[in-house]
Amino acid sequence: MNAPAAPAPPKGPPIVEFKDVSVRFGSFTALNQVSFTIEDKPKAGEFITVIGPSGCGKSTALNLIAGLLKPTQGEVLVAGRPVEKPGRDRGFIFQQYSSFPHRTVLKNILFGLEINGGEMGIGAAEARDRAMELVRHVGLLGHEHKYPHQLSGGQQQRVAIARTLALEPRILLMDEPFSALDEPTRLEMQELVVGLWHRTQPTIFCITHSISEAIYLGERVWIFTHAPGQIAYDIRENIPPTVGIPPMVAQERTDFKDAVRAVTEAFRKVSERRP
């Protein structure tokens, strides 16, 4: 007789949930009755890329998750709790380089650990070890004692990513993080972020204006409508995995080109639906 199967572990609350969320700025409605649920996936995470017309509320949605903005209507939950303010469980990487100019690469990465190390139970030696490990992960070994003005744009964004990951956030929010970079550097950063996501396994929301970038980075692509923003498409099927595959190689594959065509067609339909 076969032994009974072990019971499944109890399911935790969703990592992010929007319940009928609207955001208005005066007479302008940025988001209108947006609802979604992102399940928590321990030791996996989920990578969601977000595209849509300009001004459709993409950044507003990320700011709500980050706790930088409150909804006019509805409720935003992280791990089952209403979002009241920013927290170290949510990291944010912006389009603009955000390193502290008076701190070296290593000290920039250490910054959050210096503030939160006691709460996290991390001493100075462990914090430095973690920071140096991230220096290696993001390809900055040999640059750790340089200041931001001595780095290229791509290197500065690597510092911002490492500093954010040092606190091991469960959620990583990225608002067009590579749009200011030249194309070769942008491709390098795409491959870096996919690899880091695979290793560190947070849930990631990343806004981009590039369909090919959205498909390379994400395993799930959201397309927002014109404002007032809503999620018109949540595309999960036929998005090819790209972990360990350089962007230029991935873009030549038939499954990647098929995904680009499908997402482009969906985006075109959204763009034609003007309010």
Q: What is the CATH number of domain 16-89+171-272?
A: 3.40.50.300
Residue 35: its H or E element: strand 28-38
Lowest mean pLDDT among 109-118, 169-178, 260-269: 109-118
CB-neighbour burial class of residue 48 (10 A; exposed 0-12, middle 13-18, buried 19+): buried
Mean pLDDT of the region 179-189 = 90
Q: Place 120 in a pLDDT band, splitting at 50, 70 and 90.
A: confident
Q: How far is CA 57 from the centre of its chain?
A: 16
Tokens of 5: 């199967």
The pLDDT score that the predictor gives to residue 4 is 55
DSSP letter, residue 151? S
Structure tokens, 210:
């590039």
What band does 9 get if pLDDT is binned at 50, 70 and 90? Answer: low
How many Å apart are CA 17 and CA 30, to the nearest integer? 18
Distance CA 50, CA 176 (A): 10
Regarding pTM above 0.85, the answer is yes
So what's the pLDDT on residue 11?
74
Q: What is the mean pLDDT of residues 142-152?
A: 95
Non-local (6+) Cβ contacts of 209 within 8 A are: 51, 176, 179
Query: Distances in Å between the alpha carbon of 114 and those of 36, 73, 131, 169?
Result: 35, 37, 11, 16
Convert the pLDDT of each residue in 41-99 to its tens digit.
888 899 999 999 988 999 999 999 999 999 999 999 999 999 999 999 999 998 776 78
Q: What percent of the chain lies above the pLDDT cut of 90?
A: 80
Residue 1: the pLDDT is 47
- Of 118, 204, 17, the closest CA to residue 126 belongs to 118
Domains of the chain, by residue range, sit at: 16-89+171-272, 99-168
pLDDT at 2: 52
In the predicted structure, residue 8 carries a pLDDT above the cut 70: no
Rounded Cα distance between 253 and 80, Å, is 39
Q: Say what the pLDDT of residue 41 is.
A: 87
Averaged pLDDT, 199-215: 95
Cβ–Cβ < 8 Å for 208, 51: yes
Match 């290793």 to its residue by tokens: 199
DSSP string computed for 57-120: SHHHHHHHHHTSS--SEEEEEETTEE--S--TTEEEE-SS----TTS-HHHHHHHHHHHHHHHH
Of the two residues 232 and 10, the one the predictor is more confident about is 232
